[in-house]
Copies of this chain bind each other. A is one copy, B any other.
Amino acid sequence: MQAYAPLIKLLKKAVEEQQHALNSSLPKEMYEPMSYIIGLGGKRVRPLLTLIGCDLFGADPQEAIFSALAVELFHNFSLMHDDVLDKAPLRRGSTTVHEKWSENIALLSGDGLLVKSYQALNKSNPVKVPELLKLFSKTAVEVCEGQQMDMNFETWDKVSIENYIEMITNKTAVLLGCSLGMGAICANASAMQQEHVYEFGKHVGIAFQILDDVLDVYADDQKFGKQVGGDIIANKKTFLLLGAYELANESETKELDHLFYSQEILHSEKIKQVTAIYNQTHVKELAINEANKHTDIALKHLGELEADISKKNNLKTFALDLLKREA
């Protein structure tokens, strides 16, 4: 997005400097994987939000650069460990750290990355450190809790939509809120304004995750980076699956149960049949309604921000673009 080009440039430089520092640190067995996972890139939405949050309240985004770095390092730590937990072979199309090196390396290097995120944060203005640290650590705990809930769901028979929203709020959404909130703290925004920008980010995050579940099933095969229906094959308890169970009649429930537990069915067939039930139950519409609900809450909080109107509009456009993608 053109309006954010200067922030993106600032961020790019800081991330490159961080990588350079990691590349020259020893023992390399611990530091190389850190640099590797950061180098896989991604859109760096979270640290960008931190700079945006600072800029929004009229401060020099440079004030928030170490908070932005902390958020990016933390996010990469969580990816490195989540990939171990999920035994994921690929991350952003590349081999995961534990596959490329080992689980032990991913464990220890991830630990180091988490500590590095706190070191980055501590380069901020000392007066701001306790407040930043408070929001950052609270969020970090919630992300761990969200990951644990997600793991718990694998063995739960009955997961409600409410449970699911709580899980994605912790696992994904609060870090978006925190990213913006830390920027607001760096810009000396009031507690109330911090709260609004945090809630904006959080609800965008919830909407994003729900739409991500929709995308997994309904994306355009050609434009989607990964396999359509991947969540169905992995038996993941997504919004669509949980919603479909809530909407299904008796025979649809039976069919879902059968498809969910069947070991024999072909992947392509399973995707086709589960998608058919999703269509019958109109769960896609339920999901989109739920996502819209959270988008609306987010926009309400955006409306409460005492900031330059053009900056607010830029943030709105940025968030809505994030939510649109290829769904």
- Residues on A close to B: CB < 8 A? 26-27, 29-30, 81, 84-85, 103-104, 107-108, 110-112, 114-116, 118-119, 122, 126, 129-130, 133-134, 137-138, 140-141, 144-145, 147-149, 151-152
Query: What residues of chain B lie closer than 8 Å to A126, measured between beta carbons?
Result: 130
Tell me the minimal C-beta distance from A146 to chain B in angstroms: 9
Which of B29, B119, B148, B151 has a CB less than 8 Å from the CB of A151?
Answer: B29
- Given A30-B145, A151-B104, A137 and B118 contact (CB-CB distance below 8 Å): yes
A112 to B85, CA, bound (A): 14
Query: What residues of chain B lie closer than 8 Å to A84, measured between beta carbons?
Result: 104, 107
Which of B114, B119, B137 has a CB less than 8 Å from the CB of A111?
Answer: B114
A112 to B152, CA, bound (A): 16
Most buried by B among A111, A112, A130, A141: A111
Tell me the minimal C-beta distance from A28 to chain B in angstroms: 9
Query: What residues of chain B lie closer than 8 Å to A130, measured between beta carbons?
Result: 122, 126, 129-130
* Residues A137 and B122 in contact, CB atoms below 8 Å apart: yes
* Residues A115 and B134 in contact, CB atoms below 8 Å apart: no
* Residues B147 and A108 in contact, CB atoms below 8 Å apart: yes
Closest B residue by C-beta to A117: B137
Majority SS at the chain A contact face: helix
* Residues B85 and A108 in contact, CB atoms below 8 Å apart: yes
A140 to B118, CA, bound (A): 10
* Residues B30 and A108 in contact, CB atoms below 8 Å apart: no
Query: What residues of chain B lie closer than 8 Å to A140, measured between beta carbons?
Result: 115, 118
Which of B104, B122, B144 has a CB less than 8 Å from the CB of A112?
Answer: B144
Tell me the minimal C-beta distance from A130 to chain B in angstroms: 4
- Given A27-B148, A122-B134, A115 and B129 contact (CB-CB distance below 8 Å): no
A88 to B138, CA, bound (A): 31
Tell me the minimal C-beta distance from A169 to chain B in angstroms: 14
A48 to B108, CA, bound (A): 27
A31 to B138, CA, bound (A): 15
Tell me the minimal C-beta distance from A147 to chain B in angstroms: 6
A5 to B266, CA, bound (A): 68
Closest B residue by C-beta to A115: B140
A112 to B103, CA, bound (A): 18
A65 to B126, CA, bound (A): 21
Query: What residues of chain B lie closer than 8 Å to A151, measured between beta carbons?
Result: 29, 104, 108
